[in-house]
Amino acid sequence: MPAATQTPARLGFRMPAEWEPQEAVWLSWPHRLATWPGSFRPIPGVFAQIAAHISRREKVRINLAPRLLPRARSLIARAGADLANVEFYNHPTNDAWCRDHGPIFVRGARTGEVAVTDWEYNAWGGKYPPFDRDNRIPRLTARALGLRRFEGGMVLEGGSIDVNGSGLLLTTEACLLNKNRNPGLSRGQIEERLGQFLGVKKVLWLGDGIAGDDTDGHVDDLARFFSEDGIVTAVERNRRDVNHRALAENLERLRSMRTPSGGRFRIATLPMPAPVLHEAERLPASYANFLVINGAVLMPAFRQPRRDREAAQVLGSCFPGREVIAIDCLELVRGLGTLHCVTQQQPACRP
């Protein structure tokens, strides 16, 4: 059978939306001090809190080297996790950004089979070597779970895309068209590859990302689907803020886009937090970096009571029936990412 017929899409696989039923959420346990220079000490505790919240609703699966296991287990237990839902895997990593180095899961529309798509990972254009262990995580995951694995054949990070589960994918030109990812591929070729491996029929392109984002503009800091025809997008109301123009332009693009049936998308606007700085450096703090899990939405909070509360209200209206749980990410964002960046959902076998 020709190789082209073996792509996930041809075999009936698609990437589910994040709000569809999940079996588990994956984390990669933090250990690289340089990711949070001078600020690492509280980070494992933040990961433990994230794991604990997830464990009360579904499984948590954690990549880590064996030497990290005793401390990780102790912190997670202390955070009040349901330990029956916490699993540890001997998968050493270079860093903790599981959204980007972990597998992107797909599911068979007819069979319910869950499979792994395994893309190349180069630490956001080679910025943070080494990344060889991170790049092996999808292969190790597929082997550990006994899942079928498909090699995507290009550089792709999970945080650079968002899907509605029905054929639409949201991404940015700043990231996917950056020459530090796939210089030999055109826009059309990238769209074709996304279609073949994630079951995508149409790619919606936004422009630039936010200040402080070392990923070159990941969409999970900007705009996310909350339904098949609904998108929640970050806006900066302060016209003098460095993020105002890029976010306003992305909002205009969204307003001009059409659903497959020709209608307009339902667009909800999400406030940006006030600037979060560390040693005078602007950090990529964004409420759009939320994680949807079974029955809840985990939202990054930045110790800004009014804006944190407003963001929670917006997300609550986007995801009715789910509890919005704010998790303090002020220390976590010093590593240049928050909740969505450190997690990767695994869909349930059956929707």
DSSP string covering 150-213, please? Answer: EEEEEE--GGG-EE-SSSEEEEEHHHHT-TTT-TT--HHHHHHHHHHHH--SEEEEE----TT-
User: Does the structure show a pLDDT above 50 at 35?
Assistant: yes
Supply 284's token pair.
């990529």
Q: How far apart are CA 178 and CA 38, in angstroms?
A: 31
pLDDT of residue 351: 64
Confidence class for position 350, pLDDT limits 50, 70, 90? confident
Using alpha carbons, list the distances in angstroms from residue 344 to 129, 153, 308: 21, 20, 23
User: Does the structure show a pLDDT above 50 at 336?
Assistant: yes
Kindly report the average pLDDT of the chain as a whole number. 97
Confidence class for position 5, pLDDT limits 50, 70, 90? low
Q: Is 175 a catalytic residue?
A: no
222 φ/ψ angles, rounded to the nearest 5 degrees: -120, -60
pLDDT of residue 83: 98
Q: Which of 98, 329, 341, 349 is an active site residue?
A: 341
Q: Are 210 and 21 in contact (CB under 8 A)?
A: no
User: Does the structure show a pLDDT above 50 at 97?
Assistant: yes
Mean pLDDT of 84-103: 98
Q: In 10 A of CB 307, how many CB atoms?
A: 16
Identify which of 345, 215, 328, 203 has the alpha carbon closest to the alpha carbon of residue 260: 203
pLDDT tens figures, 126-171: 999 999 999 999 999 999 999 999 999 999 999 999 999 999 999 9
pLDDT tens figures, 178-234: 999 999 999 999 999 999 999 999 999 999 999 999 999 999 999 999 999 999 999
Query: pLDDT over 90 for what percent of the chain?
Result: 98
Q: Are 222 and 258 in contact (CB under 8 A)?
A: no
Confidence class for position 242, pLDDT limits 50, 70, 90? very high
Mean pLDDT of 300-314: 98
Q: How far apart are CA 190 and CA 183, in angstroms?
A: 11
Q: How far apart are CA 14 and CA 113, in angstroms?
A: 10
User: Does the structure show a pLDDT above 60 at 4?
Assistant: no
Tell me the HSE value of 262 on the side-chain side, using a 13 A CA sphere: 0
Using alpha carbons, list the distances in angstroms from residue 232 to 4, 32, 126, 270: 35, 32, 30, 7
Q: Say if residue 305 is preceded by a cis peptide, omega within 30 of 0.
A: no
Mean pLDDT of 287-313: 98
User: Does the structure show a pLDDT above 80 at 1?
Assistant: no
Q: Are 162 and 205 in contact (CB under 8 A)?
A: no
Q: How far apart are CA 95 and CA 104, in angstroms?
A: 17
User: Does the structure show a pLDDT above 50 at 275?
Assistant: yes
User: Does the structure show a pLDDT above 90 at 3?
Assistant: no
Report, at the CATH architecture level, how domain 3-347 is classified. Answer: 5-stranded Propeller (3.75)
Is residue 222 helix, strand or coil?
coil
Can you tell me which residue has the tokens 């339902």?
Answer: 266
pLDDT of residue 114: 98
